[in-house]
A = this chain, B = another copy of it.
Amino acid sequence: MNLLVIGTGAIGSFYGALLAKTGHRVSVLARSDYETVKAKGIHIRSATLGDYTFRPAAVVRSAAELETKPDCALLCIKVVEGADRVGLLREAIGPGTSIVLISNGIDVEREIAAAFPDNEVISGLAFIGVTRTAPGEIQHQAYGRLMLGNYPGGISDRVKTLAAAFEEAGIDGIATENITTARWQKCVWNAAFNPLSVLSGGLDTLDILSTQEDFVRAIMQEIRAVAAANGHPLPEDIVEKNIASTYKMPPYKTSMLVDFEAGRPMETEAILGNAVRAGRCVGVAIPHLESVYALMQLRELGSVKNRQETARPLPPAAWSGGRKS
């Protein structure tokens, strides 16, 4: 197939490279990394798949530069405030283009499906440890499983073709009838560990779990309840299995924490906000989720205020240091 990968971060670069490896024609839309990727391609260093230099068929700054519309446009950017996903896709797709969204979060497809009602929407969920260490430099640490399915459900021929290509390239490419349920399953882990890693000031998964296991469990159980009430019942043991597997994996720094420490926008709304709104819609009690969501919003506001103060020192509040409370 003729493919366009939008975004040359860790996810787009890695999965784009795998598709190129299997003989597909893969172009990339790069923004800040354009010059480097144009000149040198993308170098993948992988512990499990070996090294590979991915030379895209074309490297463009805007999809308008492409001569032909792709069969599939893979949107591989984080779902965060300021990311104009619809705008990026509008330039990239034609009548027959399938839109492939690879990202974290709940209900991230709705906006895209509404904007492009005549295009097939394929939703993808990555389970992988991969990092962009520099422009065009990707370090693949572990895993790689990619789940793919049509939104809101089903498995099309293109889903099968993509999943098969990833399998051929050496990772688990899984076509699923219900990608939305899979998103809720992943959210069980994400909604707990991502925000807690930020609100704790940088703790890894093991520190969080070993000191606040009951709190982690309460958040996970609320996600399971919201998913079920939204028509996506999850296995009864999913919470305990998530906790057990997290104890087994190496102490892990979440992607939200990495973004937070780098001063980048976080996937708070995609992962937590959308889950909270889904819970409110169906009237499920989610006090722990509401608390964590409220605190993440406060934390993001705090970061904005801190940046402003760094930029332009403000006088301390009239009462700064007081003991009224």
- The chain A residues found within 8 Å of chain B, CB to CB, are 10-11, 104, 126-131, 133, 141-143, 186, 189-190, 193-194, 196, 199-204, 207-208, 211-212, 214-215, 218, 249-255, 258, 287-288, 290-292, 294-295, 297-299, 301-303, 305-306, 316-325
- Give A255 to B317 CA distance when docked, in angstroms: 13
With beta carbons under 8 angstroms apart, the residue of B143, B254, B324 that contacts A127 is B324
- Give A26 to B69 CA distance when docked, in angstroms: 86
- Give A196 to B199 CA distance when docked, in angstroms: 11
Smallest CB gap from A212: residue in B: B294
Smallest CB gap from A196: residue in B: B298
Q: Is the CB of A325 within 8 A of B203?
A: no
Q: List 15 A-B contacts (CB under 8 A).
A: A11-B323, A128-B324, A129-B323, A133-B321, A203-B298, A203-B302, A215-B294, A218-B287, A249-B319, A252-B317, A252-B325, A253-B317, A253-B319, A255-B322, A291-B295
Can you list the 7 inter-chain pairs with the closest CB atoms, starting with the nearest? A201-B302, A287-B287, A129-B322, A291-B291, A200-B298, A215-B294, A131-B321
Q: Is the CB of B200 within 8 A of A299?
A: yes
With beta carbons under 8 angstroms apart, the residue of B141, B287, B302 that contacts A319 is B141
Q: Is the CB of B129 within 8 A of A319?
A: yes
Task: Provide the residues of chain B in CB contact with A10, threshold 8 Å.
Answer: 323
Q: Is the CB of B215 within 8 A of A324?
A: no
Q: Is the CB of B202 within 8 A of A323?
A: no
Q: Is the CB of A298 within 8 A of B253?
A: no
Task: Provide the residues of chain B in CB contact with A303, threshold 8 Å.
Answer: 201
Q: Is the CB of B252 within 8 A of A322?
A: yes
Smallest CB gap from A203: residue in B: B302
